Homo-oligomer: A and B are copies of this chain.
Amino acid sequence: MVIENNFSLDHVDLAILRLMQENARISNVDLAKALDLVPSAVLERVKKLEKKNVIIGYNAKVNPVAVDLKLLAFISMKSAQSFSCNDTASELAKIPDVQEVHVIAGDDCFLVKVRTTDSASLMALLRDEFSKVPNILSVKTTIVLETVKEQQQLVIPQK
């Protein structure tokens, strides 16, 4: 059964998303001012957006260097189970240092984003964690030399 994907967001909802994407700690009062509404009305909408899973959560963005996570890497890998590769994927997802796991089209099967302290800790991660994940046939690690842009904000449509 396919659930119809109707979130029915009006332009006020979209404006809320736009504002909260940029500053999740904005007060209801300030939101209300920006939207030309009253705080209670805004609160109701925000709660509804949370309930409808339009807003999935609120995250503080932490500087990776400040917590000694200086290395970013993308790892693409092939799996033995080309289609029912969910075991492999969910095992990868369990590793805390793994930020992203994507099933991809093309030669490989997964693309994984990992953050570690340095190349030594990446090596340790590959040796200690990835080696335990079942059905991995090959691994190709790409080291990030510099991150020019990294934002999670989406382009929210006008209407």
Contacts and interface: CB of A to CB of B under 8 A. Distances in A.
A104 B144 contact: yes
A14 to B, nearest CB: 7
A67 interface: yes
A20 B73 CA distance: 25
Contacts of A120: none
Copies in the complex: 2
A62 interface: yes
Interface of A is mostly: mixed
Contacts of A74: 74, 102, 104, 111
A38 interface: no
Contacts of A66: 5, 7, 9, 52-54
Contact of A106 (B69, B106, B142, B157): B142
A15 interface: no
Which 10 pairs of residues, A with B, have the shortest CB-CB distance?
Answer: A20-B60, A24-B58, A93-B149, A101-B148, A54-B66, A101-B149, A89-B148, A103-B146, A7-B66, A56-B61
